[in-house]
Structure 1
Amino acid sequence: MMISRIERYRVRLPLRIPFETSYGRLTEKAFDILLVTDELGNQGIGELVPFEQPDYIEETIETARIISQNHLIPLLTNKEITHPKEVADLFYEVKGNQMAKSSLETAIWDLYAKRHNQSLKNYFNKTRLQIPVGVSIGIQTNLDELLNQITSYVEQGYQRVKLKIRPGYDLEPVQEIRRKFPNLALMVDANSAYAIEDMQHLKKLDIYDLAMIEQPFAANDFLDHAQLQGELKTKICLDENIRSLKDCELAFSLGSCQSINLKIPRVGGITEAMKIVEFCQEKGLLVWLGGMFESGVGRALNLQFASQKIFTFPGDISASDRYYYEDILEQPIEIQHGEIHVPEGLGIGVTLSEKKLLKYGLHETIFIR
């Protein structure tokens, strides 16, 4: 196939509830929806998900737009693509910028599946139709409100809760959650808020039967994470550290973690994500799928990928109304009995709402062949 046209919607969706982590407070999410069209008129959809500030990783949505426009899209120009796995090789000369790469690579995967009248999940092994899901909760100043939120999510059927923590907001909320929900699948996520000097404090979390402690240290602290993992019975999960299969191999070799939060955009797309899944399966590492406050486009992609039976731990794939008043899809993604149905249409299986895209976004054409 040949790429003949690429369009973009710059979208901003307000959050229902502000979301606070150790590195900032989010009240709305900016993202781009990419429409990639082939010479036959088939169209794939991708989502560009970086935050506006370089606080999660180095990429921002603005830098990703520049890299895509000036460096990645030219590499697709006049190239005949026989399989989406070739895109990673085409993009290899551009270092880093994984989320920019992923937005185009995943759109081409969607395009490829549609071109062949297939659901995207048909390209993965041992898939299922229903996905157990979890929910992520930001830092709350009021513990009663925190417990009320968790109660609501448990009643909605979410099978796992992830709590954002930071120094000064860790032991007390975890203790209160455990007191009210002794059997809840509970984990915490520090988003690199701690340092090795906090090891003795972090060890106090060991008594609360947590599923894991996600990313306590900085994104390049493989050695410090290894030291902490050696002192804990609770699994350490790495998130920001993992940008490629090589990072997984390094983490495993050093003993830096026992779990991997896999985010497709953070590793550059589906092709690299598939390699990471295979490695984790081979080495016995728990791997689960994380989220980036995606719209329904990224959420549908995650559902297709998480349909693989290796994903036994509920990921961060909430229903559309968890974060947003309304999504940009014709049919929002909904939770039923703690699970979300994998969309069954072609490609990622969802249809964009042009009305909602125009309500929340700005359309522009960024490439014509």
Structure 2
Amino acid sequence: MFIKHATLYHLVMPLKEPFKTSYGVMKDKHLCIIKIVSSEGLEGYGELDAFSAPWYTEETTHTASLIIKDHLLPMLKNINLTNPHQVSEVFQVIRGNEMAKAAVETAVWDVFSKMASQPLTTYLGGKLSDISVGVSIGIKETPDELVRVVSGYVSEGYSRVKLKIKPGFDVEQVEQVRRSFPELSLMVDANSAYKKSDIAALKKLDQYNLAMIEQPFGVTDFVNHAWLQQQIKTPICLDENIRSLADAKQAAELNSARAINIKIARVGGLTEAIKIAAFCYENDMIAWCGGMFEAGIGRAHNIALASRTEFTFPGDISASNRYFARDIITEEFSIKNGKITTPVGLGIGVEIDRTSLDFYCKRREYIVLT
């Protein structure tokens, strides 16, 4: 398969409500959708899920789209791709830029699964027809407000709730949520907001029967995560630290974590994500699929990945109406009894809503590769 040409759609999608984490407040999601067209005329779609500012990783929507246009796509010009894994091999000479790589690589996976006349879930080796999912909730001003929000999502059927925390917005919030929902699968995500000196608060969180504490320390810190894991019984989950299989192996070797949040965008694509999931399964570590405020294309890729049996914990794969009033696909992903049904159509299994794509699109770029 050769890639004939590609189109980059630069979108700005307002969130239904602002989302607050330890990094700051986000009101809009800047996206770049990549469409590739194969020599056979098949279309494949990927989603660039970097943010508008470099607070999650070094990449931004703008810088990553430049890498895609100026470096990654030209590297695939006139290359006969025989399988989607080949893309990550070609991109190895480019350091970092995992989100840019993932956007292109996932579009190629979409094309290959369509060439095979299979849903992407099947093509990836997925076995699960219904995916258990959870929801991520931003920092709220008061514990009472947080409990009200959690109650709403529990009533919608979410089987697991993740609370964003930071120093000063942690123990009291978790305590009230746990008191209101004693049986709820509950976890917290710090997005690297804590230091070793905050150990007292982290130890207090250990008493609330949490499924895990995600990324308490810095994004390159494996040693202090291992130090903390020795002192608390709650499993530590690593997110930003893990960008490759090598990182997962380092976390396991140092006992820095018992769980890994696998995000397709953060690890450079589906090929690396599958390797990390297999490693977690072989080493008795919890693997689950994280979210990046995806629109429908990115969500469809996440669901396909999470359909693999290595994913034993509900992922951050929310319903279509979770973040945006209007999505860019014609189908809706909805929650029923805490699960999302995997698409059965070919490739990512969803159709692009051209009207919505044009509605959100600020500009587009067309790149010829043959």
2:176 matched residue in structure 1: 176
SS of the residue corresponding to residue 178 of structure 1 reads helix
TM-score, scaled relative to structure 2 = 0.98
1:105 aligns with 2:105: yes
Do 2:126 and 2:304's aligned partners in 1 also have CA atoms closer than 8 Å? Answer: no
How far the C-alpha of 1:229 sits from its partner, in A, is 0.4
1:212 aligns with 2:233: no
1:217-269 superposed Cα distances (whole Å, 9 cap, x missing partner): 00011000000001010000000000000000000000000000000110000
2:260 matched residue in structure 1: 260
The one-letter code sitting in structure 1 at the alignment partner of 2:365 is: E
Between the aligned residues of both structures, percent identity stands at 50
The one-letter code sitting in structure 2 at the alignment partner of 1:5 is: H
In the alignment, the residues of structure 1 paired with residue 124 and residue 2 of structure 2 have an alpha-carbon distance, to the nearest angstrom, of 24
How far the C-alpha of 1:289 sits from its partner, in A, is 0.4
2:192 matched residue in structure 1: 192
Do 2:226 and 2:254's aligned partners in 1 also have CA atoms closer than 8 Å? Answer: yes
2:364 matched residue in structure 1: 363
How far the C-alpha of 1:12 sits from its partner, in A, is 1.2
How far the C-alpha of 1:51 sits from its partner, in A, is 0.5
Q: How does 1:42-61 map to 2 (within 5 A)?
A: 42-61=42-61
SS of the residue corresponding to residue 319 of structure 1 reads coil
1:276 matched residue in structure 2: 276
1:222 aligns with 2:222: yes
Taking only aligned residues, the RMSD between alpha carbons, in angstroms, comes to: 0.9
In the alignment, the residues of structure 2 paired with residue 106 and residue 226 of structure 1 have an alpha-carbon distance, to the nearest angstrom, of 33
In the alignment, the residues of structure 1 paired with residue 305 and residue 194 of structure 2 have an alpha-carbon distance, to the nearest angstrom, of 31
1:159-188 superposed Cα distances (whole Å, 9 cap, x missing partner): 000000001000000000011001110000
How far the C-alpha of 1:134 sits from its partner, in A, is 0.2
1:354 aligns with 2:354: yes
Label 1:126 to 1:366 Cα distance change in 2 as closer, same or farther (>3 A): closer
How far the C-alpha of 1:273 sits from its partner, in A, is 0.7
Do 2:74 and 2:369's aligned partners in 1 also have CA atoms closer than 8 Å? Answer: no
2:342 matched residue in structure 1: 342
2:296 matched residue in structure 1: 296
In the alignment, the residues of structure 1 paired with residue 139 and residue 186 of structure 2 have an alpha-carbon distance, to the nearest angstrom, of 15
1:2 matched residue in structure 2: 2
In the alignment, the residues of structure 2 paired with residue 41 and residue 257 of structure 1 have an alpha-carbon distance, to the nearest angstrom, of 44
The one-letter code sitting in structure 1 at the alignment partner of 2:368 is: F
The aligned length equals 369
In the alignment, the residues of structure 2 paired with residue 367 and residue 222 of structure 1 have an alpha-carbon distance, to the nearest angstrom, of 43
1:48-90 superposed Cα distances (whole Å, 9 cap, x missing partner): 0100111111111111011111111111001000000000110
In the alignment, the residues of structure 2 paired with residue 360 and residue 67 of structure 1 have an alpha-carbon distance, to the nearest angstrom, of 22
1:62 aligns with 2:62: yes
Label 1:143 to 1:336 Cα distance change in 2 as closer, same or farther (>3 A): same
1:21 matched residue in structure 2: 21
2:93 matched residue in structure 1: 93
2:317 matched residue in structure 1: 317
